[in-house]
Amino acid sequence: MIVPLEHIIALAAILFSLGLVCTLVWRSNVIMLLIGIEIMLNAAMLVFVGGSSKWGMPDGQVFALMIMAMTSAEVSLALALVVYLHRRRNTVDVDEFRELRD
Amino acid sequence: MWMNSGSSGTEMKLCLELIILLPLLGAIANLLLGGRLLPRRAGEVLACVAIWGSFVATLAAATAYSAPVTVEIASWLAVFDFKAPLSLYLDPLSLSLCLMITFVCGLIHIYAVEYMKDDPSYVRFFALLNLFVAAMLTLVLAENLPLLYLGWEGVGFCSYALIGFWYKDPKNATAGRKAFIVTRIGDIGLGIAIVWLFQLCGTVSILQINRMGTLLPMSVITALGLLMLLAAMGKSAQVPLMVWLPDAMAGPTPVSAQIHAATMVTAGVYLLMRMFPLIGASATVTAAIAVTGALTAFYGASCALAQRDLKRILAFSTISQIGYMMLGVGAGGITAATFHLLEHAFFKALLFLGAGCVITAMHHEQDIFRMGGLRRRLPATFWPFLGGALCLAGVPLTGGFFSKDGILGAVWLKGGALYSGLYVVGLITAFITAVYTTRMLLIVFEGEETDHCRGGSCARPDEEGHPQGAPLPRVMTITLIPLALLAIFGGLLNLPDYLGGGLLNTFLSHPGSQEQQLTHSSELLLQGLAAVVALGGMGAGWLRYGGLRRQLRLAEAQLPARGLTAFLMEGWRVDALYGLLFVRPYVRLSDFLWQKLDEGCIDDSLDRMAHLLGRCGQWLGGWGQGRVSLSLISMAAGAALLIGWFAWSLL
Amino acid sequence: MEATLFYILAVVTIIGTVMAITEKHPVHAIVYLVTSFFSLAMIFFLLAAPLIAMFEVIIYAGAVMVLFMFVIMMLDLGRPSEAGLPGVRQWILPSVLGGIILLSIMAVAVRHFSAPDTHGIISITDFSVTLFRKYGIAIEIISMQLLFAVVGALYLGRKR
């Protein structure tokens, strides 16, 4: 363990907050919103890996891998949706997509 | 007090029950069945039969009467040691009043059938009239104060409802309200007195309270007496609560005759008579009663002098005559006051019914200066009316003369500076009474028929070509006759001692109380004086309004009233004074409370709050409109809240 | 030495991320993010997770970001967006919320993980054994999820 776990968690927290801010701010662009989600997921991965390193257990790394797999699935589907919606509405503004309201 | 044993007791009980129940049943039946189930005639007959049945029951009670009886019909209010059963008390006072009430009201009912024959809401009218009689009889026969209060409020309600009978005219409704509110001031006094008496004596039975009177401290008795005087002022339209009675003439004329002349307005006097054994012990109270009475008598008479409206003249004269009764009570002359009460009921009902005939014949014209020559046109009305007027004026040997003289005699007997002064006031009032009675008689019935009669609406000649208004129904004039006979020969009921003594006097005199009697010579002297005053007043009236001078007065009446006349006509401007003192501040306050406090403050704050909540709701509703960014923000805020709270609790 | 490297990499990661999210040009943002992910991969490596570090580079910095880039180019979003960067006012509320979360996590982390650490290195064998023995079912589920994602993407992307 090269650095205390607190520092890793602090880094992860900073990354998570940045991702959250990105998600909230970029309402005019779905792509940036998705990027924010990626950043947050990365932060989560960082915590998993850090924990795994601290306690010497591989489970954390396994979960990091799973997050990664899940993320790729999510990203592929989300980007497919973006393409689909852009084709229909010709915009990537999130607030334009509200058909699910009713 | 004690029950007659055996069959006569139950018979008496039945009679007393019937006296009250018959009018009550009449009212209920009329209310429930009238209009749809019963034909009009049946409803009218029902109403009259109920009253006359009550009269018969009273007669039966009178024949069976031997000594005062108390009859307990049922329990009514009973809480812990507070007991106010439905118990009736029959003594000479209540018996004589019951006889008078049922008889006069019976006649008035018959009269009313004709008077109201074109009115569509006769069901309400007769139901209320019957209900009134029931309430009045309850008042008179009640053995305890709560029951008396029930009747008291019952007559007050019926009076209110009947004054505003033609409620579609706001003026009438206002008059009804005025009567209700003004009498309410007095009723507060009675209410307080009843509660106080119960607290002091532990009972509400009138008999027991009267017997316990000597045990109470004098100051308390004085206070109680003044409270009851307040109640009597309200009900009997005494100064300073007399303003409602003239306006009460907005009701139909039979109502005026029955309620606002003959019966209800005397309820205050009756209350004072009933409680006299208690309150009479306080010299302050009796003096206050006497002064109130004398003042009112003078006030009413002076106002009647200037009125133009026939019914208002009679209303003010009623105020004045009730003032006499109060004066009599104040002087301790209960018998004289009772006698005058009965006598007044007869002649005032007669005058009102006569006025109703005149008004009907004149097509609801009430201004006396537009009448005239009715002596020839309405002889069947004129002669009884003349009888009533003579009684009112106190012309010697009529009933009114004897009764009024009895009161003045009682005042004289009391002696002292105060009562001597009051005696003089009474004499002056008698003079004025004679003057205004003459004025009324001469202007209404003498002279030529006015344009209003000959031309205009009422002058359509009938088939015979007589210039005649509406032909009066015979029933209306016939009902005047018994009243006139009673009024004129009512003196026989209570002749002075030197003529053999009064029937009523011996009947009414309590075994315990000794009313002092005048010596024959001084009584003769007083009566002579009164006769001179009355005749003098009539003479003065003749001088001013008789013969050719009548035309002069008519011409004067065309001009707007000025000075003293206007002052008297507006009832000493008491209405304006009260308006200034009480009504306007109250209205202002109400306006303030309504517009500033209620609408401006309470309503407005509520409105604003509702508005604010609405805005909040809209704002919150915007949340759910499916905007992704907003949902995200909200989610983040929720997460921040949860995590923040979690961290806070860990710290 | 390793610790120093960690802090340098951490700073690079944070700067890269900040630049990425404040960049109004999507392509530039992706590039910054790739930088950030590279340094994060290095951090993983330092934390004795070489396999994850490699996957991070290959899958994240490689595949996912390239996928983003493809979409951006395909939709012709490469130009700076017309609306541009969100205004300053739009940053306030998200920053406050992010700050609250950050501070909370920090506060919790500082207090509760001061216990001394242990243990040796996690070999790739350990990792693989755990992955396929212990979480075999999870692997299956994740693979099915990937399959569904492929089907879904194909469905959404088909010509009509």
Summarised one tens digit per residue, pLDDT across range C86-116 is 777 888 888 999 999 998 888 888 776 656 6
Yes or no, beta carbons of C101 and B643 under 8 Å apart: yes
Cα-flanking dihedrals φ and ψ of residue B86, to 5°? -75, 80
CA distance B546 to B58: 44
Residue indicated by tokens 């000597």? B214
What mean pLDDT do residues B457-461 have?
A: 41
Tens digit of each residue's pLDDT (9 = 90 or more) over B5-45: 445 678 888 888 889 999 999 999 888 887 778 888 888 88
pLDDT score recorded for residue B142: 92
**Range in B3-7, B284-288, B496-500, C53-57 the model is least confident about:** B3-7
pLDDT score recorded for residue A101: 62
CA distance B123 to B127: 6
Question: Residue B240: is the preceding peptide bond cis (ω within 30°)?
Answer: yes
pLDDT at A76 over 80: yes
Chain A touching partners, 3 or more CB pairs below 8 A? B, C
Higher-pLDDT residue of B501 and B507 is: B507
pLDDT score recorded for residue B233: 92
| Residue type at position B88 | L
CA distance B99 to B549: 43
Yes or no, beta carbons of A23 and B632 under 8 Å apart: yes
Contact residues of B toward A, CB < 8 A: 625-629, 632-633, 636
pLDDT at B455 over 50: no
The rounded mean pLDDT for chain B is 85
pLDDT score recorded for residue A85: 84
Tens digit of each residue's pLDDT (9 = 90 or more) over B399-423: 888 888 888 888 888 888 888 899 9
| Residue type at position B13 | K
CA distance B13 to B86: 12
The crossing angle, in degrees rounded to 10, of helices B628-650 and B604-623 is 100
Strand, coil or helix: B90: strand
Tens digit of each residue's pLDDT (9 = 90 or more) over B299-333: 999 999 888 888 999 999 999 999 999 999 998 88
What mean pLDDT do residues B543-569 have?
A: 79
pLDDT score recorded for residue B456: 40
- On the 0-12 / 13-18 / 19+ scale of CB atoms within 10 A, B332 is buried
CA distance B258 to B616: 64
pLDDT score recorded for residue B465: 37
Contact residues of A toward B, CB < 8 A: 20, 23-24, 27, 94-95, 97-98, 100-102
CA distance A54 to chain B (A): 23
What mean pLDDT do residues B382-387 have?
A: 89
Tens digit of each residue's pLDDT (9 = 90 or more) over C119-128: 667 788 888 8
Minimal Cβ distance to B639: which of C94, C101, C107: C101
pLDDT score recorded for residue B102: 92
Within 10 A of B620 (CB to CB), how many other CB atoms are there? 9
Which uninterrupted H or E stretch holds B389? helix B379-393
Distances (CA, A) of B72 to B3, B135, C42, C130: 10, 17, 110, 103
DSSP conformation class of B260:
I
Supply the pTM of this predicted model: 0.69
Residues in B closer than 8 angstroms to A16, CB to CB, are none
Minimal Cβ distance to C104: which of B636, B637, B646: B646
On whether the CB atoms of residues B324 and B410 are closer than 8 A, the answer is no
Q: pLDDT-derived band of residue B565, with 50, 70 and 90 as boundaries?
A: confident
